[in-house]
Amino acid sequence: MKRLAIYCGSATPSDPVYIDNARFVGRTLAERGIGVVYGGGRLGLMGAVADGALEAGGEVIGVIPTALVNAEVAHRGCTELHVVETMHQRKQAFTDLSDGFVTIPGGTGTMDELWEAMSWAQLGYHSKPVGLLNVAGYYDGLIAFVDKMAEVGFLRPMHRDILLIDDQLDALLDRMAGHKVARPIFSMSSSEL
């Protein structure tokens, strides 16, 4: 994996564990020689990931919509800053520029990005690993929900492991490196669906 898209929040929670972890993620990826592709912001966890990677000499590619650049939240210190018009173009760029996806804590935008990465893998639009770093139990409820989707039958057993989950970054990255592609829905017959 040469580059990973990092999905995370632009907010700064009051508990420093989230910012500290975001900075750690950026630094660790840079130390492993893995470039960061992210939302291009300078605020919150986004800015912390970018700063952590840049401080460790890593590559940081930001992808940000024009509206956010105009609101002066763009991180001008990125190795590259791609300015796009729409959020859809932004998510497509994340997919095009990265070899996988890691989600760390964030809000609704982060969830949108994670669900799309999972959905596209399930359908067969990409075959890249999708990781979830469960920092301080932040995603415990989401993990339970994914398990419930599988239990009820809305998530096929063969697709349950599309989402690789760990609470330790090194272990998650190792699992992502060994990722096995799930059989995509596009390759199935109607009788299999």
pLDDT score at 35: 98
pLDDT score at 182: 85
- As assigned by CATH, the class of the 3-192 domain is alpha beta
Q: Of 175, 41, 182, 50, nearest to 124 (Cα)?
A: 182
| CA distance between the termini of the chain | 32
Indicate if the pLDDT at residue 188 is higher than 80.
Answer: no
Q: What is the pLDDT of residues 82-115, one digit of tens each?
A: 999 999 999 999 999 999 999 999 999 999 999 9
Residues 155-182: b if buried by 16+ CB within 10 A, e if exposed: bbeebeebbbbbeebeebbeebeebeeb
Q: What is the pLDDT of residues 17-73, one digit of tens each?
A: 999 999 999 999 999 999 999 999 999 999 999 999 999 999 999 999 999 998 879
DSSP for residue 154 = S
Distance separating alpha carbons of residues 134 and 34, to the nearest angstrom? 20
**φ, ψ for residue 61, nearest 5 deg:** -110, 115
Sheet strand arrangement including 101-103: 80-84, 60-65, 35-38, 3-7, 101-103, 130-133, 163-166
Indicate if the pLDDT at residue 186 is higher than 90.
Answer: no
pTM comes to 0.94
pLDDT score at 176: 97
Q: What is the pLDDT of residues 141-185, one digit of tens each?
A: 999 999 999 999 999 988 999 999 999 999 999 999 999 998 888
Indicate if the pLDDT at residue 193 is higher than 80.
Answer: no
